[in-house]
Amino acid sequence: MKRLLRMSYLVAGLAGVGFFAMSILLLGVWPGQALERQIEQTRPQHPPAPTVSEQRGRVIYGREGCAYCHTQQIRYLDNDVRRFGKATLAWETIFDYPQLWGTRRVGPDLSREAGVRSSDWQFTHLYGPRGVVADSVMPAFPWLFDGDPDRPNQEARDLVDYLETLGRNRALAGPEGEAHARESCNCSDDERRYAFGTGLLNASPAMARRTGDFPKLAAGDPARGREVYRQNCLSCHGPRGEGDGKGAAGLHPRPANLAEREYGADRLSFALWNGVTGTAMPAWRELPMADLAAVAEVVRGFHAKQPEPQIPQAVLELGARVYSDRCAQCHGTTGAGDGSAAAQFPIAPTNFRTQRPDIATSLRALREGIQGTPMAPWAGELSEAELSAVAYYVRTFFTGGAP
Amino acid sequence: MKTLLSIAGGIAGPPAGMIGGVYDRWCPRNVMIKSRPAAAPPAVETPLVYAHGLAALVTLLISVCFGFLAAMEMVAPDVAGGSPWLTWGRLRYDHTQGIMLGWLGNAFFAFLYHAVPVLSGRSVTSPKLGQWLFGLWNFAVVLPGWILVLAGHSQPLEWAEFPLVVDAFVVLCLVLAAVQFLPPFFSRGLEDLYVSSWYIIGGLVFTLLSYPMGNFVPELVPGARGAAFSGLWIHDAVGLFVTPLALAIIYFVIPAATRKPIYSHFLSMLGFWLLFFLYPLNGTHHYVFSVIPMIAQIGAITASTLLGVDVIIVVANLLLSLRGTGWFPGDPALRFVGTGTVFYLIVSIQGSVQAQMSVNQSVHFTDWVVGHSHMAMLGFASFAALGGIVHAWQRIPWARYHAGMINAGYWLLFAGLIMMVTDLTIAGLVESSAWKSAAPWIESVRAAKPYWAVRVLTFVPIGAGFLFVMTGLFVGEPGDGLKSIQRELGLEPVEAIAPRFAQEVG
Q: Do B290 and A101 touch (CB under 8 A)?
A: yes
Q: Mean pLDDT, to the nearest integer, of B225-239?
A: 93
Binning pLDDT at 50, 70 and 90, where does residue B317 land?
Answer: very high
- Which residue of chain A has the CA closest to B298? A27
One-letter amino acid at B55 equals A
Whether the upstream peptide bond of residue A98 has omega within 30° of 0, thus cis, is yes
Identity of the residue in B90, B224, B361 whose CB atom sits nearest the CB atom of A90: B224
Question: Is the pLDDT score of B212 beyond 70?
Answer: yes
The tens digit of pLDDT for each residue in A274-306 reads: 999 999 999 999 999 999 999 999 999 999 887
Kindly list the residues from chain A whose CB atom is less than 8 angstroms away from the CB atom of residue B438. Answer: 286, 288
With CA atoms as reference, report the closest residue to B241 among B50, B48, B369, B377: B377
- The whole-number pLDDT of residue B489 equals 62
Question: Is the pLDDT score of B142 beyond 60?
Answer: yes
Does A3 reach chain B within 8 Å, measured CB to CB?
no
Question: Is the pLDDT score of B24 beyond 60?
Answer: no
Q: Calculate the dihedral angle through the C-alpha atoms of B131, B137, B139, B144, rounding to the nearest 10 degrees.
A: 170
Mean pLDDT of chain B: 88
The tens digit of pLDDT for each residue in B45-70 reads: 999 999 999 999 999 999 999 999 99
Which residues, 6 or more positions from A52, have their beta carbon under 8 angstroms from its beta carbon? none
The tens digit of pLDDT for each residue in B348-390 reads: 999 999 999 999 999 999 999 999 999 999 999 999 999 999 9
* ipTM score of complex: 0.93
Q: Which CATH class is domain A313-397?
A: mainly alpha
Q: Calculate the dihedral angle through the C-alpha atoms of A345, A350, A353, A359, rounding to the nearest 10 degrees.
A: -150
* Contact by Cβ (8 Å): A245, A255: yes
CB pairs under 8 A between A and B: 237
Does A138 reach chain B within 8 Å, measured CB to CB?
yes
Distance CA B158, CA B98 (A): 13
| Best to test chain A binding among B201, B225, B297 (most A CBs inside 10 Å) | B225
- Which residue of chain A has the CA closest to B229? A28
Q: Which of residues 121-160 of B touch A (CB under 8 A)?
A: 152-158
One-letter amino acid at B407 equals N
Which residues, 6 or more positions from B237, have their beta carbon under 8 angstroms from its beta carbon? B100, B159, B160, B210, B214
| Best to test chain A binding among B34, B208, B291 (most A CBs inside 10 Å) | B291
pTM for the predicted model, two decimal places: 0.91
The tens digit of pLDDT for each residue in A215-253 reads: 998 888 999 999 999 999 999 999 999 999 999 999 999
Distance CA A213, CA A285 (A): 11
Q: Mean pLDDT, to the nearest integer, of A160-189?
A: 93
Question: Is the pLDDT score of B12 beyond 70?
Answer: no
DSSP A327: I
The tens digit of pLDDT for each residue in B79-110 reads: 998 899 999 999 999 999 999 999 999 999 99
Q: Do A96 and B205 touch (CB under 8 A)?
A: no
- The whole-number pLDDT of residue B481 equals 87
Identity of the residue in B92, B210, B291 whose CB atom sits nearest the CB atom of A90: B291
- Give the dihedral sign, CA A183/A189/A190/A191: negative
Rounded to a whole number, what is the distance in Å from the CA of A312 to chain B's nearest CA?
Answer: 50
Q: Which of residues 257-316 of A touch B (CB under 8 A)?
A: 286-288
Torsional class of A174: left (φ above 0), alpha (ψ -120 to 50), beta (otherwise): left
- The whole-number pLDDT of residue A196 equals 92
The tens digit of pLDDT for each residue in A189-207 reads: 989 999 998 789 999 999 9
Read off φ and ψ for residue B419, nearest 5 degrees. Answer: -60, -45
Among A138-152, A174-188, B126-140, B160-174, name the one with the lowest average pLDDT.
Answer: A174-188
Distance CA B351, CA B347 (A): 6
What CATH number does domain A222-302 carry, 2.40.30.10, 1.10.760.10, 1.10.150.120, 3.30.70.1150?
1.10.760.10
Distance CA B324, CA A58 (A): 57
Kindly list the residues from chain B whose CB atom is less than 8 angstroms away from the CB atom of residue A95. Answer: 222-223
| Of A51 and B495, the one with more pLDDT | A51
Q: Mean pLDDT, to the nearest integer, of A115-120?
A: 94
Rounded to a whole number, what is the distance in Å from the CA of B437 to chain A's nearest CA?
Answer: 9
Rounded to a whole number, what is the distance in Å from the CA of A366 to chain B's nearest CA?
Answer: 38
- Give the dihedral sign, CA B367/B370/B374/B376: positive
Distance CA A205, CA B115 (A): 59
Q: Mean pLDDT, to the nearest integer, of B192-217?
A: 92
CATH of span B2-505: 1.20.210.10
Q: Mean pLDDT, to the nearest integer, of B249-265?
A: 91
Q: Do A96 and B222 touch (CB under 8 A)?
A: yes
- The whole-number pLDDT of residue B421 equals 98
Question: Is the pLDDT score of A9 beyond 80?
Answer: no
Does A143 reach chain B within 8 Å, measured CB to CB?
yes
Q: Mean pLDDT, to the nearest integer, of B271-279?
A: 92
Does A119 reach chain B within 8 Å, measured CB to CB?
no
Secondary structure percentages of chain A, helix, strand, coil, to 5? 50, 5, 45
With CA atoms as reference, report the closest residue to A335 among A315, A362, A314, A308: A362
Kindly list the residues from chain B whose CB atom is less than 8 angstroms away from the CB atom of residue A75. Answer: 288-290, 361, 364
Mean pLDDT of chain A: 92
Q: Mean pLDDT, to the nearest integer, of A147-169?
A: 96
Q: Do A139 and B87 touch (CB under 8 A)?
A: yes
Question: Is the pLDDT score of B499 beyond 90?
Answer: no
Among A234-238, A362-366, B28-32, B451-455, name the one with the lowest average pLDDT.
Answer: B28-32
Q: Do A140 and B77 touch (CB under 8 A)?
A: yes
Does B164 reach chain A within 8 Å, measured CB to CB?
no
Question: Is the pLDDT score of B1 beyond 60?
Answer: no
Distance CA A315, CA B473 (A): 91
Q: Which of residues 214-233 of A touch B (CB under 8 A)?
A: 231
Does B369 reach chain A within 8 Å, measured CB to CB?
yes
Kindly list the residues from chain B whose CB atom is less than 8 angstroms away from the CB atom of residue A24. Answer: 213, 229, 232, 280
Question: Is the pLDDT score of B18 beyond 70?
Answer: no
Does A368 reach chain B within 8 Å, measured CB to CB?
no
Binning pLDDT at 50, 70 and 90, where does residue B40 land?
Answer: low
Q: Angle, nearest 10°, between helix axes B223-236 and A30-42?
A: 160
Distance CA B412, CA B463 (A): 9
Does B300 reach chain A within 8 Å, measured CB to CB?
yes
Which residues, 6 or more positions from B302, have their beta carbon under 8 angstroms from its beta carbon? none
Q: Do A130 and B77 touch (CB under 8 A)?
A: yes
Identity of the residue in B284, B292, B438 whose CB atom sits nearest the CB atom of A35: B292
Q: Calculate the dihedral angle through the C-alpha atoms of B216, B218, B222, B227, rounding to the nearest 10 degrees.
A: 170
A52-115+164-196 has CATH 3.40.30.10 classification: no
Identity of the residue in A5, A63, A75 whose CB atom sits nearest the CB atom of B289: A75
Does A385 reach chain B within 8 Å, measured CB to CB?
no
The tens digit of pLDDT for each residue in A323-380 reads: 999 999 999 999 999 999 998 998 999 999 999 999 999 999 999 999 999 999 999 8
Kindly list the residues from chain A whose CB atom is less than 8 angstroms away from the CB atom of residue B232. Answer: 23-24, 27-28
Question: Is the pLDDT score of B450 beyond 90?
Answer: yes
Kindly list the residues from chain A whose CB atom is less than 8 angstroms away from the CB atom of residue B273. Answer: 12, 15-16
- The whole-number pLDDT of residue B191 equals 65
- The whole-number pLDDT of residue A86 equals 96
Q: Do A97 and B213 touch (CB under 8 A)?
A: no
Identity of the residue in B209, B225, B439 whose CB atom sits nearest the CB atom of A20: B209
What is the CB-side half-sphere exposure of residue B221 using CA atoms within 13 A? Answer: 21
Q: Do B223 and A95 touch (CB under 8 A)?
A: yes
Kindly list the residues from chain A whose CB atom is less than 8 angstroms away from the CB atom of residue B92. Answer: 65, 68
Q: Do A93 and B224 touch (CB under 8 A)?
A: yes
Q: Where are the domains of chain A?
A: 52-115+164-196, 222-302, 313-397
